[in-house]
């Protein structure tokens, strides 16, 4: 997919002016937050489970090499195949190769952010293999030739009437006079259309929420059941997962599952949690005949051992974006790549480079809500700050911001001078602010004053106030 992260500002402007998008985003603001809160409040152990989940992932990451090896051994022992992909390109080629060997013409897909990350659909299509998304949200955006705008609700930016229009446009074999006014009718239609695809598919591709080192199992979590039909009906199942999805045992996955569904959708458990190990066994009467796992690095290993390592604990629940005022305002597409919201603001620069994604960690109010709801206790604001520092070190910020900061730093390092200057500056600015005590325009601050007024400073400087308070206290 084309990366538009460098154009975040233009993207955001467009999003704010998009009436339909703003209507759709209302569903994020109202839905997710209350549901999560209710589920969390109903489980007294939730906080303790967050700590437990964090400790599990920290341990797995600190021993990632060993758990990957153990996992591989068990997959092979259960009759599956493991493929290692350093880059997105490697992963695409590996998957194409497996599909070609299976003579695949149609591939059904369960919802997977990793396959978005490696832009698998466009690639397969180019090579003459037809990918069919089966998660309702993913199916909708595939019809629209769009990308997910949310990591668990990919079509959250689309309104019901848009879905209806898309179905009428694409499902031309169905009666044009059919009634599609209710969401149930839309779901029914997708169910019918996709049923045929499941049976037609030669290969089913899913992601994985967890990989279990102890057993060589991959786990997916869904509500629709599409990930299951995707993997049990075709003759081959390919699971694509990034390396940090590993946890040691089934019990570890169980701990994290408790915080995952609650943080994501406010459910205690998603409807379907599916553990897949190897291909079908002797005596089995259904299930895939072949099972492949593609392990993707694509930049994760270079986050290990850095200030961004903790981001690898992320379980893609989406809570951070559901609670983010910036995401609420602009939606997911403005972020310009696969991962939006606070987790995207940290992860995207790691994966595609801060030169392209530098705007994202700046698109934050530092309100801290993301960190407070993150089930894995990932310090997202701190890491955004790290990116800002790196961006500054590498001279990637605009010249005005850099010289402004240098100008300020000059005085900040000289406190006596700083205080003298502010003591003169404050009353002067206060005077210039006029009766309204506000500026409608200021030199060098057009970016701010174009949309709002800046209050003029009033009264004494902070240091003057401290001094007078101290002397008052001494009396």
Sign of CA dihedral 122, 126, 127, 130: positive
Q: Which of 186, 194, 378, 384 binds ligand SF4 (CB under 6 A)?
A: 378
Element (H, E) at 167: helix 160-170
Does position 311 bind other proteins by CB under 8 A?
Answer: no
> Kind of pairing, strands 210-212 and 217-222?
antiparallel
Subset of 17-46 contacting other proteins (CB under 8 A): 24, 27-28, 31-32, 43-45
Stretch that binds ligand SF4, among 42-50, 237-245, 279-287, 313-321 (CB under 6 A): 313-321
One DSSP character per residue, 96-114 reads HHHHHHTT-SEEEE---HH
Among 120, 194, 293, 320, binds ligand SF4 (CB under 6 A): 320
CA distance 312 to 304: 8
Piece in contact with ligand SF4 (CB under 6 A), picked from 44-52, 136-144, 318-326, 382-390: 318-326
Q: Is residue 376 part of the contact set for other proteins (CB under 8 A)? A: no
Residues 116-135 that bind other proteins (CB under 8 A): 134-135
Kindly state the tokens that stand for 188: 């029914």
Q: CA 405, 410, 415, 417 torsion: positive or negative?
A: negative
Report d(CA 192, CA 184) in Å as an integer.
Answer: 12
Assess contact for 51 and 377: CB atoms under 8 A.
yes
Q: Does 374 bind ligand SF4 (CB under 6 A)?
A: yes
| Residue closer to other proteins, measured from CB, 107 or 186 | 186
If binding is defined by CB under 8 A, does position 66 make contact with other proteins? yes
Residue whose CB is less far from other proteins, 52 or 449: 52
The single residue among 33, 272, 392, 429 that binds other proteins, judged by CB under 8 A, is 272
C-alpha pair distances (Å), 135 with each of 111, 195, 212: 6, 12, 24
Quick one: what does residue 7 bind among other proteins, ligand SF4, none, with the CB cut-off 5 to 8 Å set by partner type? none
| Residue window 217-256: x/- pattern of binding to other proteins, with contact defined by CB under 8 A | x-----xxxx-xx--xx---------x----xxxxx-xx-
- Measured N-to-C along each axis, helices 160-170 and 136-143 cross at an angle, to the nearest 10 degrees, of 60
Of 3-11, 182-190, 415-423, 454-462, which segment contacts other proteins by CB under 8 A?
Answer: 182-190
Judged on CB neighbours under 10 Å (0-12, 13-18, 19+), 342 is: buried
The answer to the question of residue 204 lying near other proteins (CB under 8 A) is no
* Residues that bind ligand SF4 in the complex, under the rule CB under 6 A: 263, 314-320, 343, 374-376, 378, 380
């Amino acid at each position: 997919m084309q990366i538009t992260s460098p154009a975040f500002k233009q993207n955001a402007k467009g999003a704010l002016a998009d009436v339909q998008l703003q209507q759709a985003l209302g569903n994020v603001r109202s839905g997710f937050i209350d549901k999560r809160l209710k589920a969390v409040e109903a489980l007294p152990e939730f906080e303790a489970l967050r700590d437990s989940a964090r400790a599990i992932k920290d341990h797995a990451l600190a021993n990632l090499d060993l758990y990957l090896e153990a996992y591989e051994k068990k997959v092979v022992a259960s009759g599956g195949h493991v493929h290692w992909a350093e880059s997105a390109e490697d992963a695409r080629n590996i998957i194409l190769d497996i599909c070609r060997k299976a003579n695949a013409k149609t591939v059904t897909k369960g919802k997977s952010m990793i396959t978005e990350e490696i832009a698998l659909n466009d690639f397969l299509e180019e090579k003459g293999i037809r990918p069919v998304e089966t998660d309702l949200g993913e199916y909708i955006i595939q019809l629209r030739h769009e990308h997910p705008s949310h990591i668990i609700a990919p079509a959250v930016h689309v309104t019901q009437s848009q879905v209806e229009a898309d179905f009428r446009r694409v499902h031309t074999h169905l009666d044009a006079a059919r009634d599609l006014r209710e969401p149930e009718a839309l779901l029914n239609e997708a169910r019918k259309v996709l049923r045929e695809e499941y049976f037609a598919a030669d290969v089913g591709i899913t992601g994985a929420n967890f990989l279990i080192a102890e057993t060589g199992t991959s786990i997916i979590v869904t509500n629709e059941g599409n990930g299951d039909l995707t993997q049990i009906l075709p003759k081959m199942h390919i699971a694509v997962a990034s390396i940090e999805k590993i946890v040691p045992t089934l019990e570890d996955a169980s701990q994290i599952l408790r915080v995952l569904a609650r943080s994501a959708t406010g459910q205690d458990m998603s409807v379907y949690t599916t553990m897949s190990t190897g291909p079908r066994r002797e005596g089995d009467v259904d299930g895939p005949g072949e099972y492949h796992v593609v392990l993707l690095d694509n930049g994760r290993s270079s986050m290990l051992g850095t200030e961004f390592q903790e981001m690898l604990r992320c379980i893609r629940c989406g809570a951070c974006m559901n609670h983010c005022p910036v995401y609420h305002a602009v939606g997911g597409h403005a972020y310009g790549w696969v991962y939006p919201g606070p987790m995207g603001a940290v992860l995207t620069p790691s994966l595609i480079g801060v030169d392209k994604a530098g705007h994202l960690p700046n698109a934050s109010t530092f309100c801290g809500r993301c960190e407070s709801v993150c089930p894995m206790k990932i310090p997202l604001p701190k890491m955004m700050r790290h990116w800002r520092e790196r961006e500054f070190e590498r001279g990637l910020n605009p010249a005005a911001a850099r010289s402004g900061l240098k100008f300020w730093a000059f005085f900040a390092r000289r406190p006596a001078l700083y205080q003298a200057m502010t003591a003169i500056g404050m009353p002067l600015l206060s005077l210039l602010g006029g009766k309204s005590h506000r500026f409608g325009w200021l030199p060098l601050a057009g970016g701010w004053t174009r949309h709002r007024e800046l209050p003029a400073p009033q009264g004494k400087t902070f240091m003057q106030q401290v001094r007078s308070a101290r002397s008052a206290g001494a009396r």
